[in-house]
Amino acid sequence: MLGTHKARQGSACSHPLRSTFCKEDMLDRRTAIEGCLLGCAVGDSICLPYEGIAPQRVGRMLKLPLRHRFFFGCGMVSDDTDHSVFVGQCLARNPTDPDQFARSLAWRLRFWLLCLPAGIGMATLKSILRLWCGVQFSRSGVFSAGNGAAMRSAIIGVVHSEDSDLRHRFTQASSALTHSDPKAEFGARAIADLAACVSRDGTRPPISKLEEILWDTGEGDEWRDTIRRAVAACRSGEIRDAVTSAGLKRGVSGYILHTLPVAVASWYIHFGDFRKTIEAVAMLGGDTDTVAAIAGSLAGISCARDGIPNDWVTGIIDRPHGVAYISELAETLASGQTGNTGFSWLLFPRGILFTVSVLCHGFRRLLPPY
């Protein structure tokens, strides 16, 4: 469990990312950042083989306890982890300027598309193509309420846990790159605010606090209904209370109003137990990798690296955004340096290998069990 982060009077550090943190706080800060990024990667990797499968078939295909099954018994990560890493890199380079942060992130997304990523969301694809066509990064997002913005926002919450105004500005800048529907930003802001709360306090917030945080992140009848479902599931301890009847038929969709309640409820209900958090997401089917990446980000903050099953961590063989690099990036962000935060073109050959693996899984799904 993480300790509470407290600033000491008269001993603020010099870097803008750590203006309220001192050397005594560095370990906890680094632990929260690493837990967030690593939790995202592990949740993404473990649940990737079950993406797009209906819950009825998932129940027949997976065996508990879960283990890596994507690439010859090992794990790879998808766009969820790539995007979170990109956000972390851009935060290290532009810690206090949302516009420069968004400009840097936009170029990473442009280059990432050239690496032929498999499984890219339609909204993200259209937005990056708009960026390549010269559309300004602040207007490149398309009208979509997908969960792409939320999948990369938890790390913003951790890095800017003490400054709500800056946190919301960075979340808005990140969301606008790919999604212009306000609901997408509401979801991203909700995840960032929850991540900030946990990284500050290190404990599970009471239901009243959880409801307050979520209620303040958006507006409108649809959003209020989403928050009610999320809070009801957290209160009852039944994750299925967070899923609409439509979502249950084919699994949890990538629509943020379906994704958010499930990700939040699975993290909250199983707080402190990373394994059960991810297994709960996997059993529901649908967009399992992204939902697990979001829930895993929150669970990783509260569990830290030591609370994530070691076989799940060591089972990830991916490059360049593997476990070793994630730990290095966490150290970079915590120390306030830029470090190794450039775009890696190793993503191009890696993208080809990943695509081949996805195709193999596609053919495997033609076989029983159905």
**135 within domain boundaries:** yes
Q: At 366, is the pLDDT very low, low, confident or very high (cuts 50, 70, 90)?
A: confident
**315 within domain boundaries:** yes
Q: Report DSSP state, residue 337.
A: -
**60 within domain boundaries:** yes
**102 within domain boundaries:** yes
The answer to whether 121 and 254 are in contact (CB under 8 A) is: yes
pLDDT of residue 249: 75
pLDDT digits (tens, 9 = 90+) for 166-178: 999 999 999 999 9
pLDDT of residue 13: 44
Of residues 312, 53, 78, the one with CA closest to residue 62? 53
**295 within domain boundaries:** yes
- In this structure, what token pair is assigned to residue 215? 């209620």
pLDDT of residue 245: 58
Residue carrying the six token digits 């929150």: 298
Beta bridge mates, 255:
146
- Indicate the SS3 state at residue 318: coil
d(CA 100, CA 333): 17
Tell me what the mean pLDDT of segment 194-211 comes to.
96
**15 within domain boundaries:** no
The answer to whether 289 and 44 are in contact (CB under 8 A) is: yes
pLDDT of residue 337: 86
CATH number for the domain that contains residue 87? 1.10.4080.10
pLDDT digits (tens, 9 = 90+) for 71-125: 988 999 999 999 999 999 999 999 999 999 999 999 999 999 999 999 899 999 9
d(CA 160, CA 36): 13
The answer to whether 180 and 144 are in contact (CB under 8 A) is: yes
Q: Report DSSP state, residue 71.
A: B
Instruction: Look at residue 15 and tell me whether its pLDDT is greater than 50.
Output: no
Residues listed for the chain:
370
Exposed/middle/buried for residue 364 (C-beta within 10 Å: 0-12, 13-18, 19+): exposed
pLDDT of residue 338: 86
The sign of the CA dihedral 200, 203, 208, 213 is: positive
Residues in CB range of 231: below 8 A, 6 or more apart: 207, 210, 211, 214
**7 within domain boundaries:** no
Instruction: Look at residue 305 and tell me whether its pLDDT is greater than 80.
Output: yes
The answer to whether 338 and 92 are in contact (CB under 8 A) is: yes
d(CA 174, CA 211): 24
Of residues 39, 12, 46, 124, the one with CA closest to residue 289? 46
d(CA 12, CA 16): 10
Range of the domain at 65: 23-364
pLDDT of residue 339: 85
**6 within domain boundaries:** no
The answer to whether 225 and 247 are in contact (CB under 8 A) is: no
Q: DSSP states of 330-354 as a string?
A: HHHHHHT---S-SPPTTHHHHHHHH
How many domains would you assign to the chain?
A: 1
- Indicate the SS3 state at residue 65: coil
pLDDT of residue 59: 83
pLDDT of residue 291: 98
